[in-house]
Amino acid sequence: MKVIMICNLPIESLPPVVSTITVLDKIGCEIVLITPYLIDEYKTLFSNLRYYQYYNSIDELKTFNKKNVLAKNMEMYFRWNDIIFNAIEKEYTAECFVWILHENTASRLDSRINKYNYAITIYEMKRNPKILKFFPSNVKKITKNANIVITPEYNRSHILATWWNLQNTSFVLPNKPYIEDEKLVEDEEIHEVIEKIAKFKNGKKILLYQGGLGPDRNLEPFIKAVEKKSNYKIVIMGPYNSYVNTILEKNSENCMFINSIVAPKHLLITKCADVGIVSYINSSDSYYDPLNVIYCAPNKIFEYSKYSIPMICSNQPGLHYSVEINHAGICVDINNVDEIRSALDIIENNENFYKEGAKKMYNSVDVLEIISNIINKMGEIN
Q: How confident is the model at residue 290 (pLDDT cuts 50, 70, 90)?
A: confident
Q: Compute the half-sphere exposure of residue 243: CA atoms within 13 Å on the CB side of its CA.
A: 13
Q: How confident is the model at residue 130 (pLDDT cuts 50, 70, 90)?
A: very low
Residues contacting residue 71 through CB under 8 Å, at least 6 positions apart: none
Domain ranges of the chain: 2-176+365-381, 182-363
Tell me if 128 sits within 8 A of 166, measured CB to CB: no
Looking at residue 355, what is its pLDDT? Answer: 98
pTM: 0.92
Containing 172, the helix (H) or strand (E) segment is strand 169-172
Q: How confident is the model at residue 61 (pLDDT cuts 50, 70, 90)?
A: very high
> Helix or strand or coil: residue 17?
helix
> Helix or strand or coil: residue 129?
coil
Residue by residue, DSSP assigns 64-98 as: HHTS-HHHHHHIIIIIIHHHHHHHHHHH--SSEEE
Looking at residue 284, what is its pLDDT? Answer: 52
Amino acid (1-letter code) at residue 28? G
Residue 60 has pLDDT above 70, yes or no: yes
Residue 282 has pLDDT above 80, yes or no: no
Distance (Å, whole) CA 292 – CA 153: 10
Residue 222 neighbours by CB distance under 10 Å? 25
The 10s digit of each residue's pLDDT in 173-214 is 999 999 888 888 888 999 999 999 999 988 899 999 998 877
Q: What is the DSSP letter of 113?
A: G
Q: What is the DSSP letter of 273?
A: -
List the single range of 21-25, 243-247, 295-299 with lowest mean pLDDT.
243-247
Residues contacting residue 339 through CB under 8 Å, at least 6 positions apart: 332, 333
Fold for 182-363, please state it. Answer: Rossmann fold (3.40.50)
CA 200, 216, 329, 174 dihedral sign is: negative
Q: According to the CATH classification, is domain 2-176+365-381 in 1.10.287.1260?
A: no
Distance (Å, whole) CA 357 – CA 308: 8
The 10s digit of each residue's pLDDT in 67-95 is 998 899 899 999 999 999 999 999 999 99
pLDDT, mean of residues 152-162: 92
Residue 365 has pLDDT above 80, yes or no: yes
Distance (Å, whole) CA 82 – CA 60: 18
Containing 206, the helix (H) or strand (E) segment is strand 205-210
Tell me if 258 sits within 8 A of 194, measured CB to CB: no
Distance (Å, whole) CA 378 – CA 376: 5
Average pLDDT, the chain: 90
**Topology agreement, domain 2-176+365-381 and domain 182-363:** yes
Looking at residue 129, what is its pLDDT? Answer: 46
